[in-house]
Amino acid sequence: MKFLVLIYRNAASQAVWESLADDEKRQGLNAYEALDRDLAESGELVTSASLAPPETGKRVLVSDGQVVAGDGPFAEVKEQLAGFYVLDCASLERAVEWAARIPEAGLGLVEVRPTQDLSVFLP
């Protein structure tokens, strides 16, 4: 089964990151490097990425056949998507085990969701 692990940021978590000394930031990034290595070695990592800040993206709307791309951020929420992993694990419990190693999990900013196979609806 494939799972999407979503990592969020909010103003409080961003402030924590910005307040860290450089060596503390390196430790945090080292935690991600170790997680990536262990996931790759396990064969359960499909892909992962850190996302640029939301204001660097575009929201796409098609209205009356016209494409309108607006500036971000897009959602009126406290938390913004910061990065993700796609994992191929035997169970939700296994995906949660991996997600618990993400540093933001200590702040309650990690979500694990199964993906859906919609090919069953195709001819």
Beta strands 2-10 and 79-88: pairing type? antiparallel
100-120: average pLDDT? 90
**pLDDT for position 48:** 96
Please report which confidence band the pLDDT of residue 76 belongs to, taking 50, 70 and 90 as the band edges: low
- Is there a contact between 83 and 48 (Cβ–Cβ < 8 Å)? yes
- State how far the Cα of 30 lies from the Cα of 36, in Å rounded to an integer: 10
Distance of CA 14 to the CA centre of its chain: 15
Q: Percent of the chain beyond pLDDT 90?
A: 56
96-112: average pLDDT? 93
Beta strand segments in 1-123, E: 2-10, 45-50, 58-63, 66-71, 79-88, 110-114
Nearest alpha carbon to residue 84 among 33, 8, 31, 30: 8
38-44: average pLDDT? 98
On average, the pLDDT of the chain sits at: 89
**pLDDT for position 56:** 81
**pLDDT for position 54:** 78
